[in-house]
Amino acid sequence: MTAHALVPVKRLGGAKSRLAAALTPGERVELVHEMLEAVLGAVEEAGIGPVTLVSSEPLALNGVPRFDDRGLPWNDALAAAMREVVTEDVAVVVAGDLPRLHAAEVRELLASTPQRGLAIARAKDGGTNAVAMRPPGVLETHFGERASARVHEEAALAVGLTAVVLDVDGLAFDVDTAEDLAAWRER
């Protein structure tokens, strides 16, 4: 089974604003680049299919093509990318701030995708760090909403889709706070 992986990236000017007390703006941009390169490496190594950055930021990383999100909010940008770029049977959305992500975990997410529905990678705080859906765009994503893993699951079930929730270390650990950053750097 092949999939198209979308990796959304917010504008770098406001990158990782919750880390403003711990890092300068330049250090936050460097951190985003470092984590994004790790995520792209894991997704590419997984070999699940094409990979596209979704961003209005003119990034050129690892030769990965970019879909210009035209400044749309994150979930709207992902919906647009699924409509305009994805031709595979499955769309996989992976956040760019998962520094512990491994290729095997990307493949596990894809393998967990139901015939019609979502595989949801739950973040350690109950949010969502990745979603795989078949068919692409079958459901609006809810990234950034409080307890979004539950929101994704409930939204899928409400319209008769199957939802599978995964708790996998590399997909669950993101860097949003100074504590997350310290935990990652210590490892």
pLDDT of 156: 98
- Using DSSP's 3-state secondary structure scheme, residue 53 falls into strand
- Domain 3-186: CATH superfamily is Spore Coat Polysaccharide Biosynthesis Protein SpsA; Chain A (3.90.550.10)
| In the chain, domain spans | 3-186
pLDDT in tens, 20-49: 778 788 888 888 889 999 999 999 999 999
Q: Where are the alpha helices (DSSP H) in the chain?
A: 25-46, 74-84, 103-111, 148-158, 169-172, 178-186
pLDDT at 52: 96
pLDDT at 97: 92
The pTM of this model reads 0.94
**Which DSSP state fits 10?**
-
- Per the model's pLDDT, the better-predicted residue between 182 and 5 turns out to be 5
